[in-house]
Amino acid sequence: MSVPDLNLSADPVELTAALVDMRSVSHDEALIADAIEAALRAQTRGFEISRFGNRVLARTTRGLPTRVVLAGHLDTVPIADNLPSWRTNSDDEGDMLHGCGTVDMKSGLAVFLHLIATLDQPAHDLTLICYDCEEIAAKFNGLGFIEREKPEWLVGDVAILGEPTGGLIEAGCQGTMRVRLSAKGIRAHSARSWMGENAIHRLGEALTRLHAYVPRTVDIDGCEYREGLSAVAVSGGVAGNVIPDAAYLDVNFRYAPDRSEEQAFAHVREVFASDLADGTLTAQITDSAPGALPGLTHPAAAALVDAADGKFRAKYGWTDVARFSALGIPAVNLGPGDPSLAHRADERVPVAQIYAVTELLRTYLSA
């Protein structure tokens, strides 16, 4: 397939549509990476450009006092009969661009590419990171590969990820941890249930504790994070006439970024302390990703907040800002689109938000 031509200086809405129309489901980002690489090489000046797998990297080295990293992923979730893109204009919603990836996050990526090509005199050195496989398991995440193999490309004073935020700054992100609570019993015929110990019944107290759990709310840099501890899966059972000897309950803890992973696990163990102490349950971490502090007091991040007229909020979900935070780089999410529409068959982004985020970032990157 021939590589599509992208005009990075074109209207950012048209550029969004062009990116959306290139299918790029996770693990299939070669075509869009080829197109972006070709456009950057042909239409930008003063940028060092590097291709690393299906990751396209570009940066300036002008010796400016600060560096801003703009990072966005190329991949989408599987197509849901929502390509090619199309546009509607209604009294209810206004001017909207529809299609897979319009929200998550090709509109944000289009904004970054457009600004890279059209900023005349940026006030900061710029790094652009276009990476693959964000929508699937973390082991495939292209930003992780860059962090391990080309870490010098992630150096900066502030990082902006183009995740959908409705055009508002969403600072930091919460951590996420899944813990499996396992119960053991003794198998027996259900007609003689007293001869066994029912492992499923042993999960009862844990479920009661979850139902009564009161989540913590914490304010960090003016961002309010609300934690949550929830059962997300339960399994057990052998047959319709057997007392089960094993069962488990998966618990997801979404925690504020003032907790470390170790502190988060300690809190989960505290909630179920009596069940763990008497051996009714055992606890094992099955998945974990740390949160990211908002870092809005850093001068480079504070200047972005000023450009956004002081409008910001906490990010509840986990995003790759956590990777930058772990490197000591303040990071925020900022992009067009309602995150609740991401991954849906009716995914769509307001055209006005694409323009608004473009101008917000143009102001910030030029100031």
Question: What is the model's pLDDT at position 300?
Answer: 83
Instruction: Examine the domain organization and report whether 222 and 79 are in the same domain.
Output: no
Which residue, 236, 271, 289, sits at the end of a domain? Answer: 289
In a domain, 229, yes or no: yes
In a domain, 167, yes or no: yes
In a domain, 4, yes or no: no
DSSP string, 192-244: GGGGSB-TTGGGHHHHHHHHH----EEEETTEEEE-EEEEEEEEE-S-TTEE-
Instruction: Examine the domain organization and report whether 254 and 317 are in the same domain.
Output: no
Cα separation of 105 and 107, whole Å? 6
The label of the residue with tokens 């969004």 reads 16
In a domain, 101, yes or no: yes
In a domain, 3, yes or no: no
Q: Using an 8 Å Cβ cutoff, are 288 and 321 in contact?
A: no
Instruction: Examine the domain organization and report whether 26 and 87 are in the same domain.
Output: yes
Question: What is the model's pLDDT at position 251?
Answer: 98
- What percent of the chain clears pLDDT 70, i.e. is strictly above it? 100
- What torsion, rounded to 10 degrees, do the Cα atoms 359, 362, 364, 367 define? -130
Q: Which residues pair with 158 in a beta bridge?
A: 68
For the chain, where are the E strands, in sequence order? 48-52, 55-59, 67-73, 86-90, 94-98, 125-131, 158-161, 169-171, 175-184, 188-189, 217-220, 223-226, 228-236, 242-243, 246-255, 281-289, 312-314, 331-333, 348-350
Ranking 149-163, 190-204, 259-273, 312-326 by mean pLDDT, the lowest is: 312-326
Instruction: Examine the domain organization and report whether 76 and 125 are in the same domain.
Output: yes
pLDDT in tens, 49-59: 999 999 999 99
- pLDDT, the chain, mean: 95
Which residue, 238, 270, 289, sits at the end of a domain? Answer: 289
Instruction: Examine the domain organization and report whether 55 and 147 are in the same domain.
Output: yes
Instruction: Examine the domain organization and report whether 21 and 121 are in the same domain.
Output: yes
Cα separation of 198 and 186, whole Å? 7
In a domain, 7, yes or no: no
10 vs 317, more confident: 10
- Name the 3-class secondary structure at 163: coil
Which residue, 239, 274, 289, sits at the end of a domain? Answer: 289
Q: Using an 8 Å Cβ cutoff, are 154 and 129 in contact?
A: yes
**CATH code for position 132:** 3.40.630.10
In a domain, 38, yes or no: yes
Specify burial of residue 121 (Cβ count, 10 A radius: 0-12, 13-18, 19+): exposed
Residue 92 banded pLDDT, cuts 50, 70, 90 = very high
Which residue among 134, 135, 221, 275 is the active-site one? 134
Instruction: Examine the domain organization and report whether 312 and 353 are in the same domain.
Output: yes
Instruction: Examine the domain organization and report whether 118 and 222 are in the same domain.
Output: no
Cα separation of 156 and 81, whole Å? 39
Q: Which residues pair with 131 in a beta bridge?
A: 73
Q: Using an 8 Å Cβ cutoff, are 202 and 244 in contact?
A: no
- What percent of the chain clears pLDDT 90, i.e. is strictly above it? 87
Question: What is the model's pLDDT at position 209?
Answer: 96
β 67-73/158-161 pair status: parallel
Cα 316 → chain centroid: 10
Which residue among 29, 37, 75, 163 is the active-site one? 75
In a domain, 90, yes or no: yes
Instruction: Examine the domain organization and report whether 140 and 196 are in the same domain.
Output: no
Residue 76 banded pLDDT, cuts 50, 70, 90 = very high
Q: How many structural domains compose the chain?
A: 2
Specify burial of residue 100 (Cβ count, 10 A radius: 0-12, 13-18, 19+): buried
Instruction: Examine the domain organization and report whether 133 and 149 are in the same domain.
Output: yes
Range of the domain at 340: 12-172+292-366
134 labelled catalytic: yes
Instruction: Examine the domain organization and report whether 273 and 312 are in the same domain.
Output: no
When pLDDT is averaged across residues 163-179 and rounded to a whole number, the result is 94
287 labelled catalytic: no
Question: What is the model's pLDDT at position 367?
Answer: 80
pLDDT in tens, 253-304: 999 999 999 999 999 999 999 999 999 999 999 999 899 988 888 888 889 9
**CATH code for position 251:** 3.30.70.360
Instruction: Examine the domain organization and report whether 119 and 225 are in the same domain.
Output: no
Cα separation of 87 and 53, whole Å? 33
